Amino acid sequence: MSTTVQEREPHAVSGGETALPIVKYNDVKKSFGDLEVLHGINLEMRPGEKIAIIGPSGSGKTTLGRMLMTLEEPTSGTIEVDGELLWHMERGGKLVRASEAHLHRMRTKIGMVFQHFNLFPHMKVIRNVTEAPRKVLGLSKEEAHERAVEMLRKVGLEDKLDVYPSKLSGGQKQRVAIARALVMRPKVMVFDEVTSALDPELVGEVLEVIKEIALEGEMAMMLITHEMDFAREVADRVIFGADGLIVEEGPPSELFENPESERLQSFLRRMN
Amino acid sequence: MELDWEYAFSILPTLLKGLKTALYATVVGFVIACVAGLVLALLVRVRVKVVKWVTNAFIEFVRSTPLLIQLFFLYFGLNKYFQLSAFTVGAVALGIHYSTYLAEVYRSGIDNVEKGQWEASRALNFSKGRTWTSIILPQAIPPILPIMGNYLIVVFKETPLLAGITVLEMLTRSKNILSRDWKPFEPYTMVGLIFLVLSLTMAIVFELMERRMNRRFTK
């Protein structure tokens, strides 16, 4: 990898505008034991861009998002976030694994919503959302509370502040999880199959909330999803991955209406 | 064989003094066990292999040797250099011995916290220490409190071993009474009854606590 922060110039990205990408994967590979699940991913996201990542299960979609959230370390290749290497630092002209302090600093730009919500069961809803702003960002109790209530209002749960997560429906839990991630004001957020664990009748309320957030614009979003209609509606660009590679990408209209590759054609047939 | 109840009650005040010492040793020992047990449980999880290995070896060693031998070793052997009271050595030995068991209890509690909790903590950028104190331990400990309560009772029941190093707990006091009055049944019966009553009481209290907690802490 010769890509370093100093060398890299701002460059043109799809859409013709010139902007520093908020996220950039450079030939990223990932293996679990002997099994390589990602075979060299190159991918860029512009600030505020909404991308949907679709593809069959086992294609490595989730791993892609988890590496961005620093939950999985790439086996090789680099990821840049906001112009800085995520998993690496330069030391003596060589790339070395980033320190915990570096990762900590980088993580302030990244957020994630999980398939299984992962709410803190021992905390009421409000504290689920205020805990990180207080303990990580160092906000005062009042500030954190104010921000948290604002986010919970945004996801339509301002009447559930003093309830434990166990008393909420799956859809409500996921909306709290979204508020909890949003309150940290990341520049890019990973939504990892956030509706896959929900009963079908609860999917809509969660997607609705995500659509609203998408419309606000500033935050880049990586939507790893099986909901094709949702991807079509929200995403600026759709990435189709299979077998650890990006097979096809483009604006949703193109990708869904005129899929080029045989893989995508058969995938879309199966999804419909 | 008739028990002389009048005599039995006449020696009760002396025995209760011993009970006070025993309870004191139980509390001090148990607090040490809880703190040291948590430290051991955390050390086992340290990524540095040497730390993990040494901690596991220590736990194995302490568990595989009898508490009475440890007491003798610490009091008659090592304490030459420290000159601590028999009570202090006894309470510390109880604490260290049971810390190795509590470490295992903590481990099971920590392992039962879902993986997603660690991931959410990382995603929200909590520091390692904050993840432990705010997220992991508050979920790991409530479910293991009943088991910890059981260990408190076990520690209490082990206090007669401190007689071996001259601590004036109930057994030592019974032996002293015995050598004065030559009536063996009353003191030992009374000590047995005191243990029975207190252990049962503690067990019932913990049972009630557990039930209350289960109601409160349903996920």
Query: Could you tell me which residue, B157 or B3, shows the higher pLDDT?
Result: B157
Q: Kindly list the residues from chain B whose CB atom is less than 8 angstroms away from the CB atom of residue A131.
A: 124, 134
pLDDT at B9 over 60: yes
pLDDT at A9 over 50: no
Is the pTM higher than 0.90? The answer reads no
CA atoms of B51 and B200, how far apart (whole Å) = 40
How many residue contacts between A and B have a Cβ separation below 8 Å? 60
Query: Within 10 Å of residue B181's Cβ, how many Cβ atoms?
Result: 13
Considering the four listed CATH numbers 1.10.3720.10, 3.40.640.10, 3.40.50.20, 3.40.50.1260, the one that applies to the domain covering B5-216 is 1.10.3720.10
CA atoms of B184 and B7, how far apart (whole Å) = 11
Q: Do B119 and A114 touch (CB under 8 A)?
A: yes
Q: Do A131 and B124 touch (CB under 8 A)?
A: yes
pLDDT tens digits for A23-60? 999 999 999 999 999 999 999 999 999 999 999 987 88
Rounded to a whole number, what is the distance in Å from the CA of B126 to chain A's nearest CA? 6
pLDDT at B1 over 70: no
Task: Enter the ipTM.
Answer: 0.89
Q: Kindly list the residues from chain B whose CB atom is less than 8 angstroms away from the CB atom of residue A111.
A: 123
CA distances from A140 to A94, A120, B73 (A): 40, 21, 53
Least Cα distance to A157 among A185, A183, A184 occurs for A183
Rounded to a whole number, what is the distance in Å from the CA of A100 to chain B's nearest CA? 9
Q: What value does the mean pLDDT of chain A take?
A: 90
pLDDT at B5 over 60: yes
Q: What is the pLDDT of residue B216?
A: 65
Query: Could you tell me which residue, B184 or A153, shows the higher pLDDT?
Result: A153
Q: Categorize the per-residue pLDDT at A14 as very low, low, confident or very high, splitting at 50, 70 and 90.
A: very low
Work out the percent of chain B whose per-residue pLDDT is above 70: 98
Residues of A with CB under 8 A from a CB of B: 69-71, 100, 104, 107-108, 110-112, 114, 116-122, 131-132, 135-136, 166, 177, 180-181, 184
Query: Could you tell me which residue, B188 or B216, shows the higher pLDDT?
Result: B188
Q: Do A71 and B123 touch (CB under 8 A)?
A: yes
pLDDT at B123 over 60: yes
Q: What is the pLDDT of residue A58?
A: 79
CATH code linked to domain A121-185 = 1.20.1580.10
pLDDT tens digits for A56-95? 987 889 999 999 999 999 999 999 999 999 999 988 889 8
pLDDT at B217 over 90: no
State the average pLDDT over residues B51-61. 96
Q: Do A121 and B219 touch (CB under 8 A)?
A: yes
Q: What is the pLDDT of residue A162?
A: 95
Q: Do A131 and B139 touch (CB under 8 A)?
A: no
Q: What's chain A look like in SS3?
A: CCCCCCCCCCCECCCCCECCCCEEEEEEEEEECCEEEEEEEEEEECCCCEEEEECCCCCCHHHHHHHHCCCCCCCEEEEEECCEECCEEEECCEEEECCHHHHHHHHCCEEEECCCCCCCCCCCHHHHHHHHHHHCCCCCHHHHHHHHHHHHHHCCCCCCCCCCHHHCCHHHHHHHHHHHHHCCCCCEEEEECCCCCCCHHHHHHHHHHHHHHHHHCCCEEEEECCCHHHHHHHCCEEEEEECCEEEEEECHHHHHHCCCCHHHHHHHHHHC
pLDDT tens digits for B136-153? 999 999 999 999 999 999
pLDDT tens digits for A99-129? 999 999 999 999 999 999 999 999 999 999 9
Question: Per-domain residue ranges for chain B?
Answer: 5-216
Structure tokens, B118: 């660690």
Lowest mean pLDDT among A168-172, B35-39, B89-93, B166-170: B166-170
State the average pLDDT over residues B11-15. 92
Best of A105, A124, A131, A147 to mutate (most B CBs within 10 Å, chain B):
A131
Q: What is the pLDDT of residue A139?
A: 96
Q: Write the CB contacts of A204 (distance below 8 Å, at least 6 apart in sequence).
A: none
Q: What is the pLDDT of residue A4?
A: 43
